[in-house]
Amino acid sequence: MKFAYLGRTGMKVSRLCLGTMNFGPRTDEKEAFAIMDRALEAGVNFFDTANVYGGGDNGHRGWTEEIMGRWFAQGGGRREKVVLATKVYGDMNDENDGPNEPSGLSAYKIRRHIEGSLRRLQTDRIELYQMHHIERHAPWEEIWGAFEGLVNQGKAYYIGSSNFGARHLAYAQAAAEKRNFLGLVSEQHKYHLMCRLPELEVLPAAQELGLGVIPWSPLGGGLLSGNVLNSAGGARSGQAAANLTETQRAQLEAYGKLCAELGESESNVALAWLLANPAVTAPIIGPRTLAQFEDTLRAVEIELSSEALAKLDEIFPGPGGEAPEAYAW
């Protein structure tokens, strides 16, 4: 496994981040334990979750954190070896929150919800505590005051964001600087070959501010996995294929052909493309099975040639570079 510093911090994380959103609703506890054990074996030390994960069909919010907590409780250095990331913002369906139940980042909610995450995860600290979305009401003075308190207490080591626009990253860092606080160290963002809009503003802003970028949905919700145009991909893939536009179908066909020429799987080429971007720290992989996890390990070894990168740009054109040059004279 290869490692990188998380943004401008001195903490190193694996170049693949293990996403756990499937644990509970789609991956049972035994398989989840096997995946996490194998991840540590393979050198993947960066695990990402969120307090709301597990709340899908026939599930409950917090289920994923509970599974991870029981895995940590087995001991064997599991907790010590993991750089743990979780998130706060979402509605936890906690009736005790009353009118404060809806999503948000009030100091009230941040302080209450970290206690729930720590309890479910059976730990006393979270290495990377992330805002799952921007807060449009509470001022940064309130938000940073709450997070500073958690850092000072040792309950969180670093603070990250997710789904922020470039201007929100700038606002957050300006407010943190006034407090002589480190502020954000990372931004978790939707970014993949078929979604390159972040190249306009978010990626350049993150680089200039010294933030590590952690792409989520690196396979485009499965579109870049190679299963969508494959009749053996199952019902979910069949539905995704039916919803493709003619342009998307042509792109995926050309992409599949290129990957075959490269002798690599479509999933791993998509991950390798992200890893080749200097703004990216670690894409989040979300395996449902141990076999899927094993398949992704190859991605960190792939070095795409300039010709291959150029061909990918032809198939999946980006916005044309950074703003404003991408659209202005």
DSSP for 50-92? -TTTT-STT--TTHHHHHHHHHHTT-TTHHHH-EEEEEE-S--
* From 172-181, 199-208, 242-251, 299-308, the region with the lowest mean pLDDT: 242-251
The answer to whether residue 163 sits within a structural domain is: yes
Of 223, 185, 180, which is closest to residue 83 (Cα–Cα)? 185
For residues 78, 80, 85, 86, the Cα torsion angle rounded to the nearest 10 degrees is: 70
- Reported as a pLDDT band with limits 50, 70 and 90, residue 159 is very high
pLDDT at residue 236 in the model: 60
- Reported as a pLDDT band with limits 50, 70 and 90, residue 232 is low
Q: Give the count of domains, the chain.
A: 1
Output the pTM of the full model.
0.95
The answer to whether residue 98 sits within a structural domain is: yes
* From 14-23, 65-74, 132-141, 224-233, the region with the lowest mean pLDDT: 224-233
pLDDT at residue 235 in the model: 46
Helix (H) / strand (E) element for 293: namely helix 290-296
The answer to whether residue 326 sits within a structural domain is: no
Q: With 70 as the cut, is the pLDDT of residue 231 above it?
A: no
Q: Please compute the mean of the pLDDT values over residues 45-72 and round it to a whole number.
A: 95
Of 152, 216, 211, 224, which is closest to residue 185 (Cα–Cα)? 211
The answer to whether residue 324 sits within a structural domain is: no
- Reported as a pLDDT band with limits 50, 70 and 90, residue 96 is confident
Say which CATH number the domain at 151 has: 3.20.20.100
Mean residue pLDDT across the chain: 95
Q: Please compute the mean of the pLDDT values over residues 249-258 and round it to a whole number.
A: 97
The answer to whether residue 198 sits within a structural domain is: yes
Domain that holds residue 290: 3-315
* From 90-94, 163-167, 196-200, 284-288, the region with the lowest mean pLDDT: 90-94
What residues are annotated to the active site? 53
pLDDT at residue 237 in the model: 58
The answer to whether residue 327 sits within a structural domain is: no
Q: With 90 as the cut, is the pLDDT of residue 123 above it?
A: yes
Q: With 50 as the cut, is the pLDDT of residue 108 above it?
A: yes
pLDDT at residue 233 in the model: 52
The answer to whether residue 27 sits within a structural domain is: yes
pLDDT at residue 192 in the model: 98
The answer to whether residue 321 sits within a structural domain is: no
